[in-house]
Amino acid sequence: MIKRLLMGLGLFAILLSWQARAELVIEITGGSEAALPIAVVPFGYEGFVPQEDISAIVKNDLERSGRFAPLPQKDLISTPHEKREINFKDWRLLRSEGLLVGKVSSLDGQTYEVQFQLFDVYKAQQLVGRRYKVPAASLRSVAHKIADQVYQALTGEKGVFSTRLAFVSVLKKTDGTRHYALQISDSDGAKPRTVLQSKQAILSPNWSPEGERLSYVSFEKGKAEIFIQEMRSGQRTSLASFKGLNSAPSWSPDGRKLAMTLSKSGNPEIYVMDIATRTLTRVTHSSQAIDTEAVWMPNGSELVFTSDRGGRPQIYKVSATGGRAERLTFEGRYNASPDISPDGRYLTMVHGFNGKFYIAVQDLESGAVNVLTERGKDESPSFAPNGHLILYATEQNGKGILAAVSVDGSFHQRLGETGIDVREPAWSPIRQ
Partner 1 sequence: MKLVKLSSVAFALVWLSGCNTLGLNSDDGLMDGEDGVVVEDRGVSAEGLDGDGINGTAIGDGAETQVIVGEDGYTGTDLDDPTNALSNRVVYFEYDSSAVREQDQLTLEAHAAYLADNPTARVRLEGHTDQRGSREYNLALGERRALAIRQILMIQGASANQFQLISFGEERPQSEGDGEVNWQNNRRVELVYTGR
**Minimum distance from CB of 348 to partner 1 (Å)?**
13
Nearer to partner 1, 268 or 387 (CB): 268
Residues 155, 200, 370, 410: which binds partner 1 (CB under 8 A)? 200
> Could you say whether residue 72 binds partner 1 (CB under 8 A)?
no
**Minimum distance from CB of 200 to partner 1 (Å)?**
4
Among residue numbers 377 through 396, which ones bind partner 1 (CB under 8 A)? 377, 379-380
Measured CA to CA, the distance from residue 136 to residue 278 in angstroms comes to 43
Nearer to partner 1, 8 or 109 (CB): 8
**Minimum distance from CB of 29 to partner 1 (Å)?**
21
**Minimum distance from CB of 92 to partner 1 (Å)?**
19
Nearest partner of 159 among 140, 143, 136, judged by Cα? 143
> Could you say whether residue 185 binds partner 1 (CB under 8 A)?
no
Kindly report the CA angle at 409 between 404 and 412, in degrees rounded to 5?
Answer: 35
C-beta of residue 70 within 8 angstroms of C-beta of residue 95: no
> Could you say whether residue 133 binds partner 1 (CB under 8 A)?
yes
Measured CA to CA, the distance from residue 68 to residue 200 in angstroms comes to 41
**Minimum distance from CB of 10 to partner 1 (Å)?**
8
C-beta of residue 323 within 8 angstroms of C-beta of residue 337: no
Nearest partner of 16 among 166, 233, 168, 192, judged by Cα? 192
Residues 263, 348, 373, 413: which binds partner 1 (CB under 8 A)? 263
Measured CA to CA, the distance from residue 404 to residue 386 in angstroms comes to 14
Residues 266, 278, 299, 324: which binds partner 1 (CB under 8 A)? 266
* Torsion angle (degrees, nearest 10) of CA 355, 360, 363, 366: -40
Phi and psi of 313, rounded to 5°? -65, 125
Q: Stretches 33-41, 65-73, 306-314, 367-375: which one binds partner 1 (CB under 8 A)?
A: 306-314
- 232-235 contacts, C-beta under 8 A, 24 or more apart: 234/195
Nearer to partner 1, 69 or 336 (CB): 336
> Could you say whether residue 190 binds partner 1 (CB under 8 A)?
no
C-beta of residue 247 within 8 angstroms of C-beta of residue 202: no
Of all residues in the chain, what percent are helix, strand and coil, respectively (each to 5)?
15, 45, 40
Residues 12, 17, 90, 110: which binds partner 1 (CB under 8 A)? 12
Measured CA to CA, the distance from residue 392 to residue 355 in angstroms comes to 19
> Could you say whether residue 270 binds partner 1 (CB under 8 A)?
no
> Could you say whether residue 105 binds partner 1 (CB under 8 A)?
no
Nearer to partner 1, 95 or 199 (CB): 199
Helix axes 54-64, 139-155, angle to 10 degrees: 40
- 320-324 contacts, C-beta under 8 A, 24 or more apart: 320/252, 320/257, 320/259, 320/272, 320/281, 320/283, 320/296, 321/272, 321/281, 321/283, 322/281, 322/282, 322/283, 322/284, 322/285
> Could you say whether residue 25 binds partner 1 (CB under 8 A)?
no
> Could you say whether residue 371 binds partner 1 (CB under 8 A)?
no
**Minimum distance from CB of 277 to partner 1 (Å)?**
25
Residues 21, 92, 130, 158: which binds partner 1 (CB under 8 A)? 130
> Could you say whether residue 229 binds partner 1 (CB under 8 A)?
yes
* H or E element in which residue 154 lies: helix 139-155
Q: Stretches 23-31, 47-55, 134-142, 322-330: which one binds partner 1 (CB under 8 A)?
A: 134-142
Nearer to partner 1, 299 or 397 (CB): 397
> Could you say whether residue 223 binds partner 1 (CB under 8 A)?
yes
> Could you say whether residue 156 binds partner 1 (CB under 8 A)?
no
